[in-house]
Structure 1
């Protein structure tokens, strides 16, 4: 999260506006690590497991549950715990400073991020995403509390960048991509019989990046340039929670598309976004980068990894 020392409304550019969402994109990216933690918990029932339980083997050589969990803890444990501590620190700060974050504020930030790069949400639970957005808003409110931004400056910024606050309808999309139309039809048939879209995508989809996330490619809209136009055409006429027909792609492969969520397009009025703009402009006046760890000492935060 990096902000400039001075703000000049006339010099604002789309690229600069995109930089303002980097704190949220950074925190949302960490959510991928949280999914790993959930996965560990899902695989570890409440009843005690023997640490020498064999979870895999290679040429007869066992890999035990203890080895597996220890390796995962070393790989992502620090980052996951850091995120949990930071969220708790920000909630504590909100109570101390009397900060409130409304659902509308979270909706606005989510819509703006989705408009810029919906793929940052891929593989993430929507409620977890909203919680991390909430934590970031708390941090920004704490940091910008004493910075004064005149209403005239806020209005001038909105008038110059009004188009930025017009959000296209976005579709949370999952894909199963296969080489032939026959395989796509077979996938549709399995889904109609109750098969899990996520599980089937991981099993048969040839797009490895999305397959590892159960087919999830995040939010797409009419301006998304990184997908085949035929995919958007299908999702735009598919209802939320439903699976569309087989889609023929330009590269000769075929896709089965599912729409998990729809965020309706809207234009945010000045009154709806003025607090958001004022906070962003105030943050630009800060002399240096500040993150939640700066508040650990104030709230006596401690963790397993020491200082």
Structure 2
């Protein structure tokens, strides 16, 4: 996933750079001027950041991404990562959730532009419908070790309430406060082992301890949805099939065409290659 490297900070530096010698840092060892800061940031991050900003500007003219669409993608990440969401943001270099949302928006814009070039056959749609599994709603209790999970399973079999044990024992603090509820989800959202176990359960059934990369889960499916007709699902299935066909090369080709149509002119000679997608936009 592409990263918006210090985009906001760089824009501020660009705005302050014009013939500026004001010091942004003073010390006994010497000062650092706004112009020095701008040149250093432009050299290191300029082309990459300008390319990303240009992509959003150009694509936003033709395509629209709603707040609801961004919220949905962020929710999927939170559902999948649980309590590890903030840690994952840091590991991937995002400053905060808002920084991540910026990247989600750009990815959705690129996806919509790529979708326009993809054809889907009736057979592909019918195969997708046959493989489709409706969303389910589940709760879980997550613990670090198998012994603790087995102890919780025994308490549940003895009549303890799932919600009470989730609040007391689960290490997934986000869902623990809600009695373990992780909400509705479909395939391809949760950890694969978690998903497989959850979809194997009947409504209100409780699983044995399930091991995933996050620890040991005890899962309860609390609600299920019925599979809608093919006609009602056709638009959703079309989007899913198209998404499965999107590649990075396709996105690069689409962006190259969009940049060409927009007649982009970059005045700073050091940033000329920012929209040259034949090579990485790294100075």
Which of the five TM-score ranges fits, normalised by the shorter chain?
A: 0.3 to 0.5
TM-score, length of structure 2 as denominator length: 0.48
Computing the radius of gyration from Cα coordinates, the structure with the larger value is 2
TM-score, length of structure 1 as denominator length: 0.45
Return the structure number with greater relative CO, CA threshold 8 A, min gap 6: 1
